[in-house]
Amino acid sequence: MKLKSASLMQFLNIVTAIALFLMTIFVFGNVVLRYLFNSGITWSEEASRFLFIWMTFLGAIVAFRHNEHLGVDLLVKLFPRPVKKIVYILINIVIAFMLWLIFDGGLKLIGMNTENIAPATGIPMSYIFASSVIMSIGMFLVLIFNLYRVIKHDNAIDELTKVHAEDE
């Protein structure tokens, strides 16, 4: 499972890097065209915005997998291991509920925007809103995997609640 997870995270990192590269090319190219040639690419700003949305949502999955989202653990790290496990499980139940809300809202937005087309790129807006559904599914799978590790392996809670050195 760890190999598949690592391969998937590497794939998501590559996709987000490509999105960032394309955004940079589109924005820089449009600036150069505007200032040097008094013209521009009409769809580049919109495409950059859409790439940014997808990059952010896919990057959220990777950050969640590596436990790199912001969190306040000042109180939690003082707890003994059994209490940490309980608090971790409760927090992840709340996160699962939030992911459900994002998933449900994303599906509703996809349904409402199937016929809406972005003006410059011609991309259906439902493709853009699909990023929230993909993100919520990806993060939910990571959450389930982490909860399994916490319940089955005694030391997993220490790894999952570990503070990074640069955070201290």
User: Percent of the chain, pLDDT > 90?
Assistant: 49
Residues 6-14 have a mean pLDDT of 87
Residues 106-132 have a mean pLDDT of 92
Helix (H, G, I), strand (E, B) or coil at 119: coil
- Residue 163: predicted pLDDT: 59
The residues near 58 (Cβ < 8 Å, ≥ 6 apart) are 12, 15, 16, 19, 131, 134, 135, 138
Q: How far is CA 54 from CA 49, 50, 132, 134, 157, in A?
A: 9, 6, 8, 10, 31
pLDDT surpasses 90 at 136:
yes
pLDDT surpasses 60 at 125:
yes
The residues near 118 (Cβ < 8 Å, ≥ 6 apart) are 46, 50, 124, 125, 128
Q: Are 129 and 106 in contact (CB under 8 A)?
A: yes
pLDDT surpasses 70 at 167:
no
Q: How far apart are CA 147 and CA 94, in angstroms?
A: 13
How many Å separate Cα 19 from the centre of its chain? 13
pLDDT level of residue 164 (50, 70, 90 thresholds):
low
pLDDT level of residue 155 (50, 70, 90 thresholds):
confident
Q: What predicted TM-score, i.e. pTM, was given to this entire model?
A: 0.84
- Residue 22: predicted pLDDT: 94
User: Tokens standing for 131?
Assistant: 């990023």
